[in-house]
Structure 1
């Protein structure tokens, strides 16, 4: 009976993880897309981004997860903190924005896949703009395109957005979907962790009982 409880608990915990980690709502509906774009119209104009590109991405929603590639050139000079009025390094505001962004990302089923700093100039490049001296890159996993627009609407995200603008000199992002990867999916990693924990608990019970 104890073994059933242990392994049943592990299975239940993994099921709850999958309820959070996977998209169960299907692709976006046209009404959702229209409402989001209408709400965000002013922000597209303010940042110079294309509402048409965003619409095309949302209308092509297949309900699957995706990974956003972000390249960022941070502001390393002093800027005025919009909260305190004091002069601070722009990069500090970008880091403050990240502290707001990450919890909102987790709440919407996402997480960082990889974040790193640049350690050299372009090694291989042609027919492209000159290196603007990127500072960091990030691969952010989103549970779905619906969750991406939920995150953009999140009050914590919107409140921190001025910090991103002040802390960033240049950036571009585009969505991707994995084709080949040698990194194990969190679905597998979490399953192995729960299985290991259950196995160790089972062995401990057997040892005590023996």
Structure 2
């Protein structure tokens, strides 16, 4: 019985560790955190043509919950000058290099891709909107919290990769969303199933020994 307790106790501990990483335990952003972040990034946001007041409003409305960022990207398919090597390379390759920098920082701050895909056709249904600029890819990125988004933007690795993003992207827009309905199992459920399955297999093996 001791072995069974160890197996299932370890499974529970593993799942709790996962939840400690995956969930936000720090609550909403505080006013001083928002002010410090805006002061540090305002010039960068405005240089990209963005309205920093929209960002501030989003941060000030922080409810401490996770959110999904919707990203639409028109990649640069022509050659551009690599800021590191000085050689001419396809802009898309710089965008891919940026993604390789971005993903570890995203994971480190409790985020992950939800879905990434390529565009395979023009607008099928659209009205009162700008024409299709020729989007290349879309991405849904899960952020553990708005604080974690702030940490990601301030991370030196992310900032170092930002020139690659700018050179590899002709057009983009992103806006945050919160899930209302989804038929996909989230990581909280899927990880619980995988851990429980592993513990059940270990339990069966122990019984058969």
User: Is TM-score (shorter-chain normalized) higher than 0.5?
Assistant: yes
Cα-to-partner distance string for 1:57-110 (whole Å, 9 max, x where unaligned): 000000000000000000000000000000000000000000000000000000
- Take 1:54 and 1:147, find their aligned partners in 2: how far apart are those partners? 14
2:97 aligns with 96
Name the CA distance, whole Å, in 2 between partners of 1:194 and 1:88.
Answer: 44
Measure, in 1, the Cα distance between the counterparts of 2:166 and 2:137: 15
Separation (CA, whole Å) in 1 of partners of 2:9 and 2:163:
47
Matched with 2:15 is: 14
Name 1:155's counterpart in structure 2. Answer: 156
Report the counterpart of residue 56 of structure 2 in structure 1. Answer: 55
Q: 5+ residue gaps in structure 1?
A: none
- Counting only pairs closer than 5 Å after superposition, residues 183-194 of structure 1 correspond to structure 2 as 183-194=184-195
Structure 2 gaps of 5+ residues are: none
TM-score using structure 2 length: 0.99
How many residues align structurally?
A: 208
Partner of 2:34: 33
Equivalents in 1 of 2:195, 2:55: separation in Å?
A: 38
TM-score (norm 1): 0.99
Q: Which runs of 4+ in 1 moved over 3 A?
A: none
Equivalent residue for 2:181? 180
Instruction: After TM superposition, give the deviation of residue 26 of structure 1 in Å.
Output: 0.1
Partner of residue 70, structure 2: 69
